[in-house]
């Protein structure tokens, strides 16, 4: 698997390639069809390019983690291009531009689409091969060997099997902790142990090295992808700070686990958080910048009001479909937990049978038998959330933020998940970073994973991040990937 850095570089390479490719293909279409060059100053040209790029983004054709084969790559591109051309054609007809300019003529559009499809497939094939040949082999030095560190290592290596780990520890009881995870073989050095077999069936035959923190000066001279600090004694840590500084100056990044997960996985697992991290880490601007919070509220209300007016015909059609499909009310309401723990009533289109909770409160499940036929469509496209626009206008919710949970579930989740209440430092949202990154929530473990993404959002809030979440939500709606 390619490293996160390689995937980010590949995304920007593909984006630049698509922009150049669209300019080239439109120009070539003009030459072939009209025997003249395209006017590169045309505003319509760049509007078309933006629509193309949005269509390709929505179809996931910039996400190499999902391009596991050329068949998938081809399918995503075809879907993205077809969806984009359909959108462009519809806009041209609706705006009356059809035939008004050569750029939106049928001949130019058809030729440019065919040429760009070839260009896009070729560019993605080349970038994919480049990633395979230049795959980064990660090598991490971890100071400490707690269960958290070992679990982190297992998770990371599931994604990047070529990664290597060296644990340096000051604990006398380290072997008893490690024996819960690994079987051991003693290496040549007296104080070093190397794992030869891992109990997890997903990680068989991967090796790690364990050594004493006393040998840190020797390890510090080697090349590393990063240094991760776990549970080393503070006195010992102070002694090796000069060496850590030298490594940092050599370009080797030094992380705690929370910061590493934030930068690489775009989430902050609560298990890696400590009170001093919350107190001293950067970010959380939405909590102490009232202007940001007020601007977000004004935008939320304005956009929600506009969406409510635009989707009114859809609301009427959905209401009719619900009534025809099953008996009961059109809307469904629940008490949820909001900003600072305040309770409020949230509204949704009813997607389950009227008697869905006759057996008491329960988590929603995948392929839940309580969901109606219309409900499956509403949930997959997130249309069931539309009535919550009224909650946004009332000020109970935001368009984007952590999803509000039911108070009955909150009681258990607070006991099971550390720092759970941090998610209620901001208004809950109709959609959020957790909703577009983690597809389903049906257990305490799922709630833990979603909280990790919610914490990332709260710490890194910006209008730019909200825009990215809006685009990803659009992709979920179009592809029907909602729950």
**Least trusted range by pLDDT, from 79-88, 208-217, 309-318:** 79-88
Residue 203 pLDDT greater than 50, yes or no:
no
The residue ranking higher by pLDDT, 452 or 6, is 452
* Measured distance CA(211)–CA(167) in Å, rounded: 6
Alpha carbon 265 to chain centroid distance?
8
What counts of helices (H) and strands (E) characterise the chain?
Answer: 19, 11
Bridge partners of residue 343, in order along the sequence? 337
Looking at the DSSP bridge assignments, the partners of residue 209 are: 166, 194
Lowest average pLDDT, out of 69-73, 112-116, 347-351, 357-361, goes to 69-73
Quote the CA–CA distance of 459 and 463 in Å, as a whole number.
13
- State the average pLDDT over residues 10-18: 85
What is the structure's pLDDT at 308? 92
Dig out the tokens for 236 from the structure. Answer: 């010992």
Quick check: helix, strand or coil at residue 22? helix
Owner of token pair 């009232």: 290
Q: Is the pTM of this model over 0.85?
A: no
DSSP conformation letters of 366-388: TT-TTB-HHHHHHHHTTGGGTTH
Relative to beta strand 226-229, strand 182-186 is unpaired
Residue 61 has pLDDT above 80, yes or no: no
Work out whether the CA dihedral 463, 466, 470, 471 comes out positive or negative.
positive
Alpha helices in 417-462 (DSSP H): 433-437, 444-459
Which is it for the CA torsion 26, 32, 37, 38, positive or negative?
A: negative
Q: Which domains does the chain have, with CATH numbers?
A: 4-133 (no CATH), 139-265 (3.40.50), 286-479 (no CATH)
% pLDDT > 90, the chain: 27
How confident is the model at residue 204, as a pLDDT? 47
Residue 18 has φ and ψ, to the nearest 5°, of -65, -40
Maximum Cα interatomic distance, the chain, rounded to a whole number of Å: 81
Residue 68 has pLDDT above 50, yes or no: no
pLDDT attached to residue 87: 75
Radius of gyration of the chain measured on its C-alpha atoms: 26
Q: Are 318 and 348 in contact (CB under 8 A)?
A: no
189 three-state secondary structure? coil
Instruction: Give me the long-range contacts of 151-159 (CB less than 8 A, separation at least 24).
Output: 152/228, 152/257, 152/272, 153/208, 154/181, 154/198, 154/200, 154/203, 157/203, 157/206, 158/202, 158/203, 159/1
CA gap 102, 109 in Å, rounded: 9
Give 452 or 284, the one with higher predicted confidence: 452
Alpha carbon distance 462, 146 (integer Å): 34
Give 168's strand partners. Answer: 143, 211
CA–chain centroid gap for 174, Å, is 35
Dist CA 64 CA 241 (whole Å) = 38
Residue with tokens 């949005």: 54
- pLDDT tens digits, one per residue of 400-420: 999 999 998 888 899 899 999
Q: What is the 3-state secondary structure (H, E, C) of 23-41?
A: HHHHHHHHHHHHCCCCCCC
State whether residue 310 is helix, strand or coil.
helix
DSSP-derived 3-state class of residue 163: coil
Query: Residue 44 has what pLDDT?
Result: 83
The 10s digit of each residue's pLDDT in 163-187 is 888 888 876 545 545 555 554 444 4
pLDDT digits (tens, 9 = 90+) for 226-270: 999 987 777 888 889 999 999 999 989 899 999 999 988 899 999
What are 300's two structure tokens? Answer: 């939320």
- Distance CA(468)–CA(436), nearest Å, equals 10
Interval 129-156 mean pLDDT: 79
Average pLDDT for 64-91: 64
Which carries the bigger pLDDT value, residue 412 or residue 354?
A: 412
Higher pLDDT, 49 or 475: 49
Average pLDDT over residues 383-397: 94
Residue 5 has pLDDT above 60, yes or no: no
Q: What does pLDDT average to over the chain?
A: 80
Say what the pLDDT of residue 303 is. Answer: 94
Average pLDDT in the 129-152 region? Answer: 78
Give phi and psi for 267, each to the nearest 5: -155, 160
């Amino acid at each position: 698997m390619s490293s996160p850095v390689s995937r980010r570089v590949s995304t920007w390479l593909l984006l630049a390639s698509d922009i150049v490719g669209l300019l080239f293909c439109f120009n070539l279409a003009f030459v072939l069809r009209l025997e003249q060059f395209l006017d590169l100053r045309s505003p319509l040209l760049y509007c078309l390019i933006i629509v193309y790029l949005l269509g390709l983004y929505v179809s996931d054709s910039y996400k190499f983690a999902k391009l596991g084969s050329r068949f998938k790559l081809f399918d995503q591109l075809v879907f993205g291009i077809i969806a984009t051309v359909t959108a462009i054609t519809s806009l041209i007809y609706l705006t009356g531009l059809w035939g008004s300019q050569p750029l939106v003529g049928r001949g130019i559009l058809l030729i440019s689409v065919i040429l760009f499809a070839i260009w896009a497939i070729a560019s993605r094939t080349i970038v994919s091969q480049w990633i395979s040949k230049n795959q980064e082999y990660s090598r991490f030095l971890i100071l400490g060997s707690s269960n958290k560190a070992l679990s982190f290592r297992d998770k990371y290596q599931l994604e990047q099997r070529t990664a290597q780990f060296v644990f340096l520890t000051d604990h006398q009881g380290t072997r008893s902790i490690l024996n819960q995870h690994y079987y051991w073989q003693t290496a040549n050095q007296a104080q070093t142990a190397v794992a030869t077999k891992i109990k997890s069936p997903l990680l068989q035959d991967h090796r790690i090295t364990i050594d004493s923190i006393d040998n840190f000066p020797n390890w510090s001279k080697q090349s590393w992808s990063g240094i991760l600090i776990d549970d080393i004694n503070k006195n010992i840590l102070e002694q090796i700070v000069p060496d850590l500084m030298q490594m940092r100056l050599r370009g080797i990044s030094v992380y705690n686990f929370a910061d590493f997960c934030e930068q690489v996985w775009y989430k902050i697992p609560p298990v890696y958080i400590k009170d001093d991290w919350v107190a001293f880490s950067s970010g959380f601007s939405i909590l102490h910048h009232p202007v940001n919070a007020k601007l977000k509220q004004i935008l939320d209300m304005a956009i929600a009001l506009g969406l409510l007016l635009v989707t009114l015909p859809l609301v009427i059609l959905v209401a009719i479909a619900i009534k025809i499909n099953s008996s009961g009310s059109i809307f469904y309401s629940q008490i949820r937990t909001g900003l600072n723990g305040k309770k409020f009533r949230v509204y949704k289109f009813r997607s389950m049978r009227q008697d869905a909770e006759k057996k008491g409160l329960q988590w929603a499940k995948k392929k839940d038998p309580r969901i109606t036929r219309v409900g499956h469509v509403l949930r997959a496209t997130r249309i069931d959330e539309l009535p919550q626009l009224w909650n946004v206008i009332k000020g109970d919710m935001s368009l984007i933020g952590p999803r509000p949970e039911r108070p009955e579930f909150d009681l258990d989740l607070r006991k099971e998940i550390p720092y759970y209440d941090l998610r209620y430092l901001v208004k809950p949202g109709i959609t959020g970073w957790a909703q577009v990154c983690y597809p389903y929530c049906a257990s305490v473990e799922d709630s833990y994973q979603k909280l990790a993404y919610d914490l990332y959002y709260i710490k890194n809030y910006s209008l730019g991040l909200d825009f990215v979440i809006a685009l990803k939500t659009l992709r979920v709606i179009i592809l029907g990937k909602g729950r």
